[in-house]
Amino acid sequence: MGATVQGITDYEFNQFDLTGGDRLPPQNIEAEEEILGGILLDPEAIVRVAEVLIPEAFYISAHQDIYRSALQLHSQGQPTDLMTICARLADNEKLEKVGGTAAIRRLLEQTVSSVNIDQYARLVVDKYTRRQLIKASTAIAQLAYDMSQPLAQVMDAAEQKVFEITQERVQRALIPASEILLTIFSELEDKFQGGSDLPGIPTRFFDLDTLTQGLQRSDLIIIAGRPSMGKTSFAINVARNVAAHANLPVAVFSLEMSREQLVQRMLSSEARIESNRLRAGRINDQEWQRLSQAFGFLAQAPIYIDDTANATVTELRSKARRLQAETGGALGMVLIDYLQLMQGSSENRVQELSRITRGLKGLAKELMAPVVVLSQLSRAVESRSDKRPQLSDLRESGCLAADTNLVDVDSGKPGRWSSWPIWGMPKNCPGCSASMPVVVWCPSGPKKCLALAPSPSTPCKPCSTTVSRPPAITPFTPAKAGNRWMICNWTKISPSKKTAN
């Protein structure tokens, strides 16, 4: 072929149709020339495209060499004018390959302004991404023809190739603190005008929301505990609340239980029926009515469940992103049960789980949704005299905490809480007809509000109204016959004593 483009010979083009035909791959040569001409015309223009444009994004190899030389000069604090770029190309023995000084001068002369260089960069990146997808699809086709590879490995490799393209994200530039302050001030002003809404997604476990201000988007949250301590029960109730009350899609990846088992536990919790009786079908008429209501309630909740065993971070990421695209908005929560059942590629399990948690943290930031992961605690917590869990007790990995914003270490026993308070009720509560020595938060489903019956001889005393309480809960005042109260604030007591501090 003897065709030339602005003095640059045709051998400088990248390969043609990547599928083996005679079509040109996606490209925009005019935009490439405008970018290079803008950099030659205005040396400061390279600052506007350096973060979004790599040399490989240019379709013509000569353009790649020119842009790469401009980046090198810019990184060294030198100007990117005609003379310096030609000198750098000559030093690298590439000046003649790009068409000589005349070709570079032609780029400068045909450019009027660098005003639209940002838009041109987006056009070039768009075509580059399309070429990368074509290359990936060709490689995927070759993988599919390789019958010696298991289908699962082929699927994983194909997904990884596409995922690598999507991960070539635009790096965010340095932003002045003044702009961030304006954003925060605007958010605070909206909250002040609209009331004391939580900044995060409410779990509707009010004490937990008070401590955490809700589930924060882009956070990786690990809920840890020994087996059979209620981790799954608590997590699915949080998922239920986020989906039903916040009306946000929730993705649940159950690596341990089947989707039928998980939904059955949700029904048991919602209908307030013991799970073993529900499984056996031993249900009376009143419970059937509650169960029907639970079916209707959960059917309306946007909860999506995947029970694929031994899932990888790549698989989870792909499914979560697909769900986000299908629902057309941000996810309310991603729940994974549980961490130690996830599959990686390393023989060293500790390093493998470390990579998994880093991948999950990246997923939380990419989706801008809280990712809640359940994890088991090691047996070390049972062999110590001090039974309170520590972050190092997270099973199989001592570096999970480094990627985690919030850790809830629930061992199921009051004496094992570390800095979290244990709330109780005095044994001889004035005005109460019955005594409750210790009240422990039990995350096994919604609880009924209590009807307090005042003792005829001792009237109820008002408690402090300065404590935080859930919305729509009235402060405690002297009770009247027939009043119903929700206990939203307990007196803090010592775990070793059953009396008030």
Give the pairing type, strands 491-492 and 303-306.
unpaired
pLDDT digits (tens, 9 = 90+) for 147-159: 988 887 788 778 7
What integer pLDDT is reported at residue 444 of this predicted model?
Answer: 43
Q: What is the mean pLDDT of residues 462-475?
A: 42
What integer pLDDT is reported at residue 58 of this predicted model?
Answer: 93
| Percentage of residues of the chain with pLDDT beyond 70 | 68
Superfamily of domain 199-416: P-loop containing nucleotide triphosphate hydrolases (3.40.50.300)
Beta bridge partners of 220: 371
- Residue 392 clears pLDDT 80, i.e. is over it: no
What integer pLDDT is reported at residue 29 of this predicted model?
Answer: 92
Alpha helical stretches, state H, 215-274: 231-245, 259-271
Which of residues 276 and 228 earns the better pLDDT score? 276
Q: How far apart are CA 265 and CA 338, in angstroms?
A: 16
Output the 3-class SS for 411-441: CCCHHHCCCCCCEECCCCCCCECCCCCCCCC
pLDDT digits (tens, 9 = 90+) for 239-267: 888 888 888 899 999 888 888 888 888 88
Beta bridge partners of 8: 5
Phi, psi of 243 (to 5 degrees): -70, -45
Q: What CATH code would you report for 4-166? A: 1.10.860.10
What integer pLDDT is reported at residue 7 of this predicted model?
Answer: 42
Closest CA to 136 of 155, 158, 153, 156: 158
Domain boundaries, the chain: 4-166, 199-416, 421-501
On the 0-12 / 13-18 / 19+ scale of CB atoms within 10 A, 7 is middle
Average pLDDT, the chain: 72
pTM higher than 0.75 for the full model?
no
